[in-house]
Amino acid sequence: MFLKFKKNNKRDSQKIDEKKDVNNKKKFSVFYIFRVLIVLVFIIILYIVFNFVRIFNKEEVKVYEVATGEIVNVDRHKGFIYRDESVATCMSDGYINFFVTNAERVNRGAFIYAVNDAPSNIKLYELNDKDKSSIKQNIKMYNNNISDLEFSNIYLAKDGLRELINEINIVKQLEDRDIEKEISAKEKGYAKYAGLISFLIDGFETAKSDDFTEELIKGYSVSKYETQKKDVRKNDAIYKIIKSPEFVIVFDSVYDYDNYSNKDSLRIKFVYENVTANGRIDSFIGSDGKKHFKLYITEYPEKFIDKRVVDFEIENKKVHGFKIPIKSIISKDCFVIPKNIIEKDLSTDEDMCYKFVANGAKERVTFNISKEDDKYYYISIDDALSKVKYGDVLTNRYNDIYSLNEVKKLEGVYNMNKGYAVFKNIEVIDRTNEYAIIKDNTVNGVAIYDHLALNASEINEGDLIS
């Protein structure tokens, strides 16, 4: 019995060990699965965090909607102004007071100035709201006209604003009474001609337009010349009268001569004055032996009364089409693939073909077509590299074979209609510094109301709209 008991005890021990092994295996299996799950969850969390950070930090894709429009090409010129001007001189020394304002239109015989041995005490009037408004408008006008190209206008602004107060007082005195009869002076000046008054004397009042040379424009600066004086000497030039509203703008046009030589008139825009005018045009050979043009203008003579050099633009041509911003345009390398290799998958509406992989097997690939012509499709390399690479062999369902080895650089835009950036080729008809006109309704190109990435250089193909 004892031996039998021992034998049974041994079996029980074996059974216990077997149960322990089973339990240990079960515990190990559950622990292993738990560890794997933890790792998978950790990987998923990292992926979510990575994409969140990437999207959060990614530059916002700004979108532009395609619309029809036009751009106007202009030729920009500098011109030199000639006028029918008559300069008045003073007949005695002394202090001068003017009783007309700059750019004022006067009749022949109008009372212009008085000279005395001592400064006259002109009664000062308190400025009303209208006067203050006039001063503010003048300051704004001078501020708008100041530029790097016409910095010399600051000298006119300095003198003009200082004289404006005096002009307001002159006008008020003339409104109050007939000051000409009351004032005593050693010399009184009267207008010899009817016309516009100007106090800018620059020495070109008697110059002839046929004597124009390019050097006149390059060397001219209003700061070198006289404006309204306070004290005068005998024979000093003190003001001038512009006798005719017509003025002539002479400009150099070596490169554009053929564009204008067959025209009778032109419409121009003055750059800094922001006004347009029509002018009769004529050509001539200057004293420098070069070809030049004359523009005869009769509009806004008072705006240019103190100007000798002006910047203006001549409209060259208008171009119509789809108008897009220049910064939406980018250049990309594209694979060139014959049209018989790529076909439309009717079930998915995708453009696709096959590529050969290991052991002669074929793999289906799809493309976003950037451009097509009569013979070829063009596929952006950045878009295609996740599917094919240079040198891959492509085929279709008819077993036509093409080796992917031709690349062409195309100009295009990122189309965002699908919610991500797809490169599309464009055909630029004309462009300025800010906009381009592109051919409309090109096959596989840009269509009206398409949404394009505005900041094309700041994004990558495939980027999502954020």
pLDDT computed for residue 301 by the predictor: 93
pLDDT computed for residue 37 by the predictor: 76
Angstrom distances, CA of residue 254 to CA of 133, 210, 260, 282, 292: 45, 16, 11, 14, 7
Sorted by sequence, the CB contacts under 8 Å of residue 50 that are 6+ apart come out as none
Angstrom distances, CA of residue 427 to CA of 369, 383, 410, 421, 444: 15, 20, 9, 19, 12
Domain boundaries, the chain: 1-57, 63-71+324-458, 76-318
Higher pLDDT, 158 or 189: 189
**For residue range 218-263, what is the model confidence (pLDDT) as tens digits?**
888 776 666 677 889 999 999 999 999 999 999 987 666 667 777 8
SS3 assignment, position 101: coil
**For residue range 107-149, what is the model confidence (pLDDT) as tens digits?**
999 999 999 988 766 554 455 565 556 656 666 655 655 544 4
Sorted by sequence, the CB contacts under 8 Å of residue 237 that are 6+ apart come out as 87, 88, 89, 201, 226
Higher pLDDT, 149 or 298: 298
For residues 293-306, give the mean pLDDT: 92
User: What whole-number distance in Å separates Cα of residue 141 and Cα of residue 306?
Assistant: 14
Query: What is the sign, positive or negative, of the torsion defined by CA atoms of 408, 414, 416, 420?
Result: positive
User: What whole-number distance in Å separates Cα of residue 425 and Cα of residue 438?
Assistant: 10
Helix (H) or strand (E) holding 247: strand 247-252
For residues 377-398, give the mean pLDDT: 92
CB 325, CB 435: distance < 8 Å: yes
**For residue range 324-366, what is the model confidence (pLDDT) as tens digits?**
999 999 999 999 999 999 999 988 889 999 999 988 899 999 9
pLDDT computed for residue 112 by the predictor: 92
CB 215, CB 303: distance < 8 Å: no
Sorted by sequence, the CB contacts under 8 Å of residue 380 that are 6+ apart come out as 332, 333, 334, 335, 368, 370, 423, 461
Is residue 457 predicted with pLDDT exceeding 80? Answer: yes
pLDDT computed for residue 358 by the predictor: 85
pLDDT computed for residue 5 by the predictor: 45
